[in-house]
Amino acid sequence: MGQGDYRILHEAALRDYLAGLPELRALLGGEPAAWAITEVGDGNLNLVFIVKGTRGGIAVKQALPYVRLVGESWPLPLSRAHYEYLALSRQAQLAPGLVPALLHHNETLALTVMELLEPHIIMRKGLVAATPYPRFADDITTFMARTLFFTSDLALTAAEKKEAIAAFAGNHALCKITEDLIFTDPYRIAEQNRWTAPYLDALAAALRDDMELHVAISRLKLKFMASPEALIHGDLHTGSIMVTESQTRVIDPEFAFYGPMGFDVGAVLANLLMAYFASAGHERSPGERHAFEGWVLETVEQVWAGFAGKFLDLWRAGASGDAYPVSLFAGEKGAARLEAERQAYMQRLFTDTVGFAAAKTIRRIFGLAHNIDFELIEEPKKRAVSEARAVRLARGMMVEAVAFRTIADVTGAARKLRDWQPELSG
Amino acid sequence: MGQGDYRILHEAALRDYLAGLPELRALLGGEPAAWAITEVGDGNLNLVFIVKGTRGGIAVKQALPYVRLVGESWPLPLSRAHYEYLALSRQAQLAPGLVPALLHHNETLALTVMELLEPHIIMRKGLVAATPYPRFADDITTFMARTLFFTSDLALTAAEKKEAIAAFAGNHALCKITEDLIFTDPYRIAEQNRWTAPYLDALAAALRDDMELHVAISRLKLKFMASPEALIHGDLHTGSIMVTESQTRVIDPEFAFYGPMGFDVGAVLANLLMAYFASAGHERSPGERHAFEGWVLETVEQVWAGFAGKFLDLWRAGASGDAYPVSLFAGEKGAARLEAERQAYMQRLFTDTVGFAAAKTIRRIFGLAHNIDFELIEEPKKRAVSEARAVRLARGMMVEAVAFRTIADVTGAARKLRDWQPELSG
Ligand SMILES: Nc1ncnc2c1ncn2[C@@H]1O[C@H](COP(=O)(O)OP(=O)(O)O)[C@@H](O)[C@H]1O
Ligand SMILES: Nc1ncnc2c1ncn2[C@@H]1O[C@H](COP(=O)(O)OP(=O)(O)O)[C@@H](O)[C@H]1O
């Protein structure tokens, strides 16, 4: 099939298509006519169908040649389905059980069939409902440590790494969305920006005028564009994670490419911190969500500590890549010096992580894509208060990232802002 | 022609081949049988022929499927001729007149025909002979500023940059040579290492045992592997530069790929500094080369200052790339803050440059490939003295790169070591 054979598979066409695939047909069970097909895509970009037969269910994701949320006026290449498939395959190898199993892929249709995650829900929804996820920190840190370490220069030869970078180079249209919407637009006047007006008007104007912040975001943008450290998920927020109390699954790696590791780790931390600041806006009585909020900050700490610990353990267990060759660190003295350098490496990665977490926060409050953590706070003034607290922390994290030496510095600063009363406009 | 159609063109076959190309035939003039063909490849990797007819001359470079210096036991992909051609084309666009003009390329034969540089000589030879090159600093800084700036994120969109990185990803066999011979082997026991024995035995052992140095070289290696800042030449030493008093031409970009800019700038500085330290070993009477040595250090200063100045001017004149978007630095305050950040950017690049210059120096004294600056000092003890001075400077530059704030810190340190008497072994 050529590129021209792409067509959008809505319900009937999808049913026919799946009926023609014996393995999926067997998996679903029963007659195709009896399969229940529901479009569930709450995402911004693609179609997602859930298909259920008498025996089992599947999820079917198809890319559209444009941004779903906006329409045909904003075209987006179908090739993103190829990169999502490529990334998902790699993640499944490296972090088995932490992504949905791949069942089928059709390059021409930009279509991927995967395991139906059930009864998993999008984690962000659970966080709004103040649900703690006891498995989350352990699972997400395993996912990040393994996918990042094993695609980095610590695990790959330089040749393998260059080939892998090249294999994802074509996903630049998706990178461009990030470059614009996260690293540029929130800091200037842009049509697509929005915020909780009028309350945050002055804050929005202040950010647009804050040149220290503009330097900091520009450095982060450059790092995002030109630091292919590892295969990153590229969109690792709590809307890309599906959970139950006992399971964690990472979905939707269509933004994947070789980029800075701190972007993934920072995304997870930022989304937890936003859940923390949003929490006050969701409480119906003072202190109602106190235990949950404690769990969130504890989880922030566990995410960094767990990630760093697991990443370091993988490194210590043997780095087959071309970076930091063990032959240069022979003997006891060499081993000790290498261990100190590993710690320094993680400290640099922590600084990146702090900065990227800040960038991920600010874009959710002043950019195009907001999140339900804040959006579901009905009273705008209350929402603005929560958002202003998150922004205050983020501004400090971005401009003075190095001043945050440990993750406790971050959670400590967040805790101090829990009841801070910002001055609002309007 | 398929890959299988590759064959080595020695004199007769080359004559026939060129006779079949009307444009080159016209350029050379006269009957093919009368053309003078000489193999001049003093390089380590390839065949280079100079062909002269009645009207004009050309240089013909053909890659061999192995490392020429070593033989068939060390295979090396022919594809390097493709990357050399690609880089040369790009450099010719960006820095016209500073590379030999391209006349013909045959992908299958891994063969490139270019302008004959005459009466140019390899700059390193001139430096050994204490010849100053008054045009050099201005020309090489134009070359570096333009080729690096216009292939960086400051001039390219992120999409263009990713495609460009991918286009050079396949040149990893050449990168691997650098990774091994510059960033690894000199710091460990390796069969191919050699140095001026016995005088430098203790120094070689000290470097192998110097864990601060091993951390520093490992950080530089990682930067070399995973910081695709711009299309770098990748082997920009004074043996890759051909000069007359009034002209400068950069040749041999077969190591080109997207890497850290400081690697090119550092290469130029390191090779000048080595010429400086070697100079004492070449003098037949005290002070004989004093003026030349002054010129060398002045040139070191002019190379950094000229490069930084030109790079900054290109940036100020308009950066069409996705990095540091001007829209984030509007108004007088924005312009001032961006200018300060440009300076900070150059300062970071200077630190990289200092480190890479050190790496380039140490490899020439303890690794596989030495250079005639030192090698032509006949008396081994004298050579060892010059080399030890260069190493002392390099060790400091690598381990404490940030302590060198300005290029005058580098030349000042070099000057202080001009007559330093190292303790030698043996
Ligand atoms: N494997 C799956 N099992 C169950 N539901 C899924 C699965 N994959 C996606 N979904 C649902 O579809 C929604 C959109 O999927 P996602 O991959 O995030 O699409 P988009 O790229 O358009 O954001 C998710 O939020 C989730 O509700
Ligand atoms: N265009 C040219 N004009 C004149 N001589 C050249 C030219 N190109 C190369 N040479 C000569 O051939 C030698 C080897 O060329 P080079 O490109 O450095 O090969 P290698 O990649 O094998 O090191 C140079 O040192 C120089 O003497």
CA B240 to mean position of chain CA atoms: 6
pLDDT digit string, tens, across residues B37-71: 999 977 678 999 999 999 999 999 999 999 887 88
* pLDDT for position A68: 84
β-strands B248-250, A111-115: how paired?
Answer: unpaired
Ligand 2 atom nearest to CA at B45: 22
Residues A334, B225: C-beta atoms closer than 8 Å: no
pLDDT digit string, tens, across residues A210-232: 999 999 999 999 999 999 999 99
pLDDT-derived band at B128 (thresholds 50, 70, 90) equals very high
| pTM, 2 dp | 0.97
Mean pLDDT of all residues in chain A? 97
Average pLDDT over residues B262-274: 99
Mutate which: A80, A162, A172, vs B, most B CBs within 10 A: A162
Residue A188 lies in a domain: yes
Same domain for B185 and B103, yes or no, is no
* pLDDT for position A319: 80
* Å from CA of A192 to ligand 1 middle: 24
Domain that holds residue A89: 11-115
- Asked whether the predicted pLDDT for residue A79 surpasses 60, the reply is yes
Provide, as residue numbers in chain B, all residues whose Cβ is less than 8 Å from the Cβ of A327: 184, 188
Q: Is A178 helix (H, G, I), strand (E, B) or coil?
A: helix
Show which of B86, B115, B144 is a domain's final residue: B115
Average pLDDT over residues A239-264: 98
What is the number of alpha carbons within 13 Å of residue A235 lying toward its C-beta?
21
Minimum distance, in Å, between the CA of residue B171 and any CA atom of chain A: 9
Provide, as residue numbers in chain B, all residues whose Cβ is less than 8 Å from the Cβ of A330: 188
d(CA A52, CA B395): 67
Same domain for B102 and B215, yes or no, is no
Residue A225 lies in a domain: yes
Q: Find the largest Cα–Cα distance for chain A.
A: 70
- Asked whether the predicted pLDDT for residue A42 surpasses 80, the reply is no
Indicate the DSSP class of residue A33: G
Residues A166, B161: C-beta atoms closer than 8 Å: no
- Considering CB atoms only, which of A169, A214, A334 is closest to B166? A169
CATH of the domain at A400: 3.90.1200.10
- Asked whether the predicted pLDDT for residue A177 surpasses 90, the reply is yes
Provide, as residue numbers in chain A, all residues whose Cβ is less than 8 Å from the Cβ of B211: 329, 333-334, 337
d(CA A181, CA A224): 13
| Residue B334: its H or E element | helix B331-366
User: Do B53 and B80 form a contact (C-beta atoms < 8 A)?
Assistant: no
pLDDT-derived band at A333 (thresholds 50, 70, 90) equals very high
Minimum distance, in Å, between the CA of residue A213 and any CA atom of chain B: 10
Q: Which residues are paired to B52 by β-bridges?
A: B36, B57
Same domain for A137 and A58, yes or no, is no
Average pLDDT over residues A383-401: 98
The counts of H helices and E strands in chain A are: 15, 12
Same domain for A125 and A244, yes or no, is yes
Residue whose C-alpha is closest to residue A84's, from A262, A236, A257: A257
Residue A390 lies in a domain: yes
CATH of the domain at B26: 3.30.200.20
Sequence length of chain B is: 426
With both helix axes pointing from N to C terminus, report the angle between A158-169 and B158-169 in degrees, rounded to the nearest 10. Answer: 140
Residue A424 lies in a domain: no
Residue whose C-alpha is closest to residue A301's, from A151, A407, A193: A407
User: Do B377 and B281 form a contact (C-beta atoms < 8 A)?
Assistant: yes
Same domain for A377 and A260, yes or no, is yes
Show which of B63, B97, B115 is a domain's final residue: B115
Residue B423 lies in a domain: no
- Considering CB atoms only, which of A159, A163, A222 is closest to B323? A222
User: Do A135 and A248 form a contact (C-beta atoms < 8 A)?
Assistant: yes
d(CA B324, CA B340): 12
Same domain for B90 and B159, yes or no, is no
Residues B322, A229: C-beta atoms closer than 8 Å: no
pLDDT-derived band at A3 (thresholds 50, 70, 90) equals low
Nearest CA to ligand 2 atom 5: B117
User: Could you say which ligand is closest to the alpha carbon of residue A112?
Assistant: 1
Nearest CA to ligand 1 atom 19: A43
d(CA B44, CA B67): 7
Same domain for B165 and B109, yes or no, is no
* Å from CA of B66 to ligand 1 middle: 51
Minimum distance, in Å, between the CA of residue B241 and any CA atom of chain A: 28
Q: Burial code of A86-101, b = ≥16 C-beta within 10 A, e = fewer?
A: bbbebbbebbeebbbe
Q: Is B323 exposed, middle or buried (0-12, 13-18, 19+ CB in 10 A)?
A: buried
Ligand 1 atom nearest to CA at A252: 17
> What is chain A's alpha carbon radius of gyration, rounded to the nearest angstrom?
22
| Residue B49: its H or E element | strand B46-52
User: Do B244 and B213 form a contact (C-beta atoms < 8 A)?
Assistant: no
* Å from CA of B240 to ligand 2 middle: 8
Same domain for A155 and A72, yes or no, is no
Minimum distance, in Å, between the CA of residue B314 and any CA atom of chain A: 18
d(CA A212, CA A218): 10
Taking the CA atoms of B285, B287, B288 and B293 in sequence, report the sign of the dihedral they define. Answer: positive
Provide, as residue numbers in chain A, all residues whose Cβ is less than 8 Å from the Cβ of B205: none
CA B345 to mean position of chain CA atoms: 22
* pLDDT for position B67: 87
User: Do B296 and B126 form a contact (C-beta atoms < 8 A)?
Assistant: no
| Residue B412: its H or E element | helix B407-416
Number of domains in chain A: 2
Same domain for B249 and B110, yes or no, is no
Same domain for B193 and B83, yes or no, is no
- Considering CB atoms only, which of A218, A329, A334 is closest to B324? A218
Ligand 1 atom nearest to CA at A239: 25
- Asked whether the predicted pLDDT for residue A43 surpasses 80, the reply is no
Residues B159, A172: C-beta atoms closer than 8 Å: yes
Mean pLDDT of all residues in chain B? 97
Indicate the DSSP class of residue A155: T
Q: Which residues are paired to A113 by β-bridges?
A: A60, A104
Residue B295 lies in a domain: yes
Same domain for B174 and B274, yes or no, is yes
Average pLDDT over residues A340-353: 98
Residue whose C-alpha is closest to residue A10's, from A55, A43, A41: A41
Provide, as residue numbers in chain B, all residues whose Cβ is less than 8 Å from the Cβ of A212: 337
Q: Which residues contact B175 (CB under 8 A, 6 or more apart)?
A: A158, A159, A162, B224, B225, B234, B255, B257, B259
d(CA B348, CA A289): 46
**Residue B44 or B190, more confident:** B190
d(CA A95, CA A155): 15
Residue A385 token pair: 């208060």
- Asked whether the predicted pLDDT for residue A45 surpasses 80, the reply is yes
* pLDDT for position B1: 40
- Asked whether the predicted pLDDT for residue B10 surpasses 50, the reply is yes
Mutate which: B189, B322, B327, B342, vs A, most A CBs within 10 A: B322
* pLDDT for position B3: 58
- DSSP-H helix ranges across B183-247: 201-208, 211-226
Nearest CA to ligand 2 atom 4: B117
* pLDDT for position B364: 98
Minimum distance, in Å, between the CA of residue A188 and any CA atom of chain B: 6
Residues B166, A161: C-beta atoms closer than 8 Å: no
Mutate to test the pocket of ligand 1, among A24, A48, A82 (most ligand atoms within 8 A of CB): A48
Residue A3 lies in a domain: no
pLDDT digit string, tens, across residues B205-260: 999 999 999 999 999 999 999 999 999 999 999 999 999 999 999 999 999 999 99
Show which of A115, A137, A168 is a domain's final residue: A115
Same domain for A375 and A272, yes or no, is yes
Rounded to whole angstroms, what are the CA distances from A68 to A14, A48, A64, A297, B298? 18, 11, 7, 34, 61
- Considering CB atoms only, which of B158, B169, B229 is closest to A163? B169
Provide, as residue numbers in chain B, all residues whose Cβ is less than 8 Å from the Cβ of A335: none
User: Could you say which ligand is closest to the alpha carbon of residue B251?
Assistant: 2
Rounded to whole angstroms, what are the CA distances from A117 to A34, A57, A127, A242, B303? 21, 9, 18, 8, 60
Residue whose C-alpha is closest to residue B141's, from B301, B351, B303: B303
* pLDDT for position A1: 40
User: Do B153 and A226 form a contact (C-beta atoms < 8 A)?
Assistant: yes
Residues A166, B165: C-beta atoms closer than 8 Å: yes
ipTM of the complex: 0.97
Taking the CA atoms of A260, A261, A266 and A272 in sequence, report the sign of the dihedral they define. Answer: positive
Residue B12 token pair: 């007769």
Residue B4 lies in a domain: no
CA B335 to mean position of chain CA atoms: 35
Q: Burial code of B350-367, b = ≥16 C-beta within 10 A, e = fewer?
A: bbbbbbbbbbbbbbbbbb
d(CA B212, CA B202): 17
